């Protein structure tokens, strides 16, 4: 049980100071703002995952699509790059020196 909230309700109903009431309002405003930010981030990641699924010619979004969406987007990778996604596999990171060199035969 949230005793701090009960104390705020008790003092405001008994005519206590308005300072506690103001704190409660700013806390709820912070919670609303946080909820809006999280909803926006979730919608954006879902949109990117949907695009990744469509690029792979799939109709369902799987965890792999979420990982591809997050790691291929610069801002999301910075925010969520260290997150482990279950059942998503790994992104291959092949060094350029390991790739085969183009020869004249293949270039023509």
Cβ atoms within 10 Å, residue 21: 13
Helices (H) and strands (E) in the chain, counts: 5, 0
Segments in the chain forming alpha helices (H): 3-13, 18-55, 63-72, 74-80, 104-107
Residue length of the chain:
108
Residues 59-78 have pLDDT tens digits of 999 999 999 999 888 998 89
Domain boundaries, the chain: 3-85
- Would you say the pTM of this structure is higher than 0.75? no
Do the Cβ atoms of 84 and 71 come closer than 8 Å? Answer: no
Kindly report the average pLDDT of the chain as a whole number: 79
Please report how many Cα atoms fall inside a 13 Å half-sphere around the Cα of residue 48, on the Cβ side. 20
Region 45-60: mean pLDDT is 94
- Identify the CATH assignment for 3-85 out of 1.10.1200.10, 1.10.287.3510, 1.10.20.10, 2.40.50.140: 1.10.20.10
The rounded distance, in Å, linking the Cα atoms of 46 and 100 is 36
């Amino acid at each position: 049980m949230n005793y701090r909230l009960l104390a705020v309700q008790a003092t405001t109903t008994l005519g206590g100071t308005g300072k506690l009431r103001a704190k409660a309002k700013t806390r709820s405003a912070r919670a609303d703002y946080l909820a809006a930010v999280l909803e926006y981030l979730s919608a954006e990641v879902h949109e990117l995952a949907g695009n990744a699924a469509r690029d792979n010619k799939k109709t369902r979004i799987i965890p792999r699509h979420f990982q591809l969406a997050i790691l291929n987007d610069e801002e999301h990778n910075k925010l969520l790059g260290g997150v482990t996604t279950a059942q998503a596999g790994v992104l291959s990171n092949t060094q350029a020196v390991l790739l085969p060199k183009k020869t004249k035969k293949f270039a023509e």
